Structure 1
Amino acid sequence: MFVRAVYATGDPALLDTAVRSLNSEGRDLLEERPGYRGAGVFADRELGKLLAVSWWETEEERRHSDEVMQERRGALLEPFAGTVSVANYEAAVLHQVRPPRQGGGLRFSRMEFDPRDADLVIDTFRATVVPRAEPLPGLARTTLLIDRDRGRALAGALFVDRASMAASRATVATVRHEASAKAHADVVGLEEFEVVYADVRLD
């Protein structure tokens, strides 16, 4: 599958307005598009950050959907969003243990690497991160989203509740250190969000 990630920042007091728009009109717009496989919305209510992710069957269907969504995105995110960035990825790994839940937690690492090492990054995530993370209490899903051409990736873990995410921090820090060294990747960002919703059709 292929993924579009929209990252917006703004006034925390206005964040819920954008969440409601994405959860209603935004989801309706996505459902109408060919190749749509699901979406997720994740919020940091304290700092005023919003991450909206949509999943697509093919790269072409993702591109065609963006022709529609980019015209409506500004209105959906008003008046919250002061900054908006859009990035596209290949879903290299999606390993689900149990369904995510509203109110759960998402942690992801932003990584940069030599594009020639893209396959090494994917192989390392599958061989090291997935099996080490799977036994963590409350883990719902691990994902690796990768941009091969630019040498960028998002490595994420979804938890069914915020307490499980917090309890995993020390263990995951060790795994992150080992995996990034093996993959020759630099971790350039680390973020945590509340799960507003997260739905991907895996069949």
Structure 2
Amino acid sequence: MFVRTVYATGDPANIDTAIEAVSTEGRELLERQPGFRGFGLFVDRDLGKLLAVSWWESEEARRNSDEATRERRAAILERFAATTAIDNFEAVVFHPVRQPEAGAGLRVTRVEFDPSDADLFTETFRATVIPRLETLPGLARASLLIDRDRGRGLVGALFTDREALAASRAGQSAARHEAAAKAHVTVTGLEEFEVVFADVRGT
């Protein structure tokens, strides 16, 4: 699958307005596009951050949907977003364990790597990180999204609730350290979000 992320920051006082708009109009708009496979919305209410992730069956479907929704997306986020960043990724690993629900927690690890190490990173994630994550109580889903050309990626680990998310920090840190060393990956960011919803139709 292929993924588009929309990362918006703004005044925390206005984030509920954005959540409502993205959850209704934004979600419905995406669901009407050919090749749509799923959508997730994740927020940090305290800092005023919103991460929207849409999943597509092909690179072409993702590109066409972006052209079809770009104008409305800007309008939907207008009352909240002071900054907006849009990125495209390939979902090289999608590992569902159970369906996450509202109130779940997401940890996002941002990474950079030499583009020539993309396959090494993918295989290391499958062989090293996934087995380690599966030992952590409350794991709902793990995914690896990469941009092969630019040498950037996102690791997403979803947990069933915020308590499980907090309890997993030490265990995922150990897995992250081991994988980064093996795959020659540099960690450039670490964030946690509340899950508003996260629906993906699988691979």
Which sections of structure 2, spanning at least 5 residues, go unmatched?
none
Q: CA deviation at 1:108?
A: 1.0
- Looking at structure 1, the residues matched to 41 and 169 of structure 2 have their Cα atoms a distance apart, in angstroms, of 22
**% identical aligned pairs:** 66
- Looking at structure 2, the residues matched to 131 and 173 of structure 1 have their Cα atoms a distance apart, in angstroms, of 14
Q: Which residue of 2 aligns with 1:148?
A: 148
Q: Which residue of 2 aligns with 1:96?
A: 96
Q: CA deviation at 1:191?
A: 0.3
Q: Which residue of 1 aligns with 2:59?
A: 59
| SS of alignment partner, residue 165 of structure 2 | helix
Q: Which residue of 2 aligns with 1:36?
A: 36
Q: Which residue of 1 aligns with 2:181?
A: 181
Q: CA deviation at 1:78?
A: 2.1
- Looking at structure 2, the residues matched to 82 and 160 of structure 1 have their Cα atoms a distance apart, in angstroms, of 30
| SS of alignment partner, residue 54 of structure 2 | strand
- Looking at structure 2, the residues matched to 136 and 101 of structure 1 have their Cα atoms a distance apart, in angstroms, of 18
When the two chains are superposed, the root-mean-square deviation of aligned CA atoms in Å is: 0.7
Letter of the 2:169 counterpart: R
Q: Which residue of 1 aligns with 2:157?
A: 157
Q: Which residue of 2 aligns with 1:137?
A: 137
Q: CA deviation at 1:94?
A: 0.4
- Looking at structure 1, the residues matched to 132 and 119 of structure 2 have their Cα atoms a distance apart, in angstroms, of 19
Letter of the 2:195 counterpart: V
Q: CA deviation at 1:20?
A: 0.4
- Looking at structure 2, the residues matched to 7 and 43 of structure 1 have their Cα atoms a distance apart, in angstroms, of 10
Which sections of structure 1, spanning at least 5 residues, go unmatched?
none
Q: CA deviation at 1:183?
A: 0.6
TM-score by length of 2: 0.99
- Looking at structure 2, the residues matched to 188 and 103 of structure 1 have their Cα atoms a distance apart, in angstroms, of 26
- Looking at structure 1, the residues matched to 89 and 178 of structure 2 have their Cα atoms a distance apart, in angstroms, of 23
